[in-house]
Amino acid sequence: MSTKGEGQRPDSAPWYADGLRFGCTASGRCCSNHGEHAYVYLMEAEVRALAGALEMEEGEFREAHTREEEGWTLLEPQGSSCVFLGGTGQCGVYEARPVQCRTWPFWRENLTSPEAFEALVESICAGAGCGRLYSAEQVLNIADSTEAWYAGELDEFPASAQVGTAPEAFPPRMAPKGG
Ligand code: SF4
């Protein structure tokens, strides 16, 4: 689990002008606390989607799985991991996972410098530097769309701005631990 991106969009060619590679290895490490990064932010549409996926009423879902903090609705973790993280490192609510889960690791805060990317992504995820090559334009689109989503500027999150985790490459999704 991690924080919502807050970095600034680069004015000139970014350090990742040649693109960045990323391929999900289903380690589950981005879904577990690392340092201060323990937040999954939920917009209203995400609460509805998760409640629907779990066949819960929205109020029931909020009661069971969220907390309010500084005006944000946050997914309540279970211990040091997301409550929906399965035992083999896979998301139990994959089809309804929140936007920040769809766009990691290409958040602005992770992209501010190679050092930031190393500290916030490469140091915890073996999939960084491997797998599909995302162009700088694609990376920026993902980062910008993530910011716009959490600023409430988008009605729907664009499919083109999601990081592919090739669900067909994974075994069937696991049931959530909670709910
Ligand atoms: S909702 Fe799924 S992808 Fe997001 S942190 Fe939880 S287990 Fe990970």
Q: Which atom of ligand 1 is nearest to the CA of 85?
A: 7
Question: Atom 2, ligand 1: which residue's CA is nearest?
Answer: 91
Average pLDDT in the chain:
86
d(CA 177, CA 78): 9
Task: Output the CA–CA distances (angstroms, integers) from residue 68 to 8, 60, 62, 104, in the order listed.
Answer: 26, 15, 9, 22
pTM of the model: 0.85
Residue ranges of the domains in the chain?
20-169
pLDDT of residue 166: 56
Long-range contacts of 159-163 (CB under 8 A, 24+ apart): 161/103, 162/102, 162/103, 163/22, 163/24, 163/102, 163/103, 163/104, 163/105, 163/106, 163/134
Residue 168 — very low, low, confident or very high, per pLDDT cuts 50/70/90? very low
From 4, 37, 82, 107, give the residue whose CB has the most ligand 1 atoms within 8 Å, as the site to mutate.
82
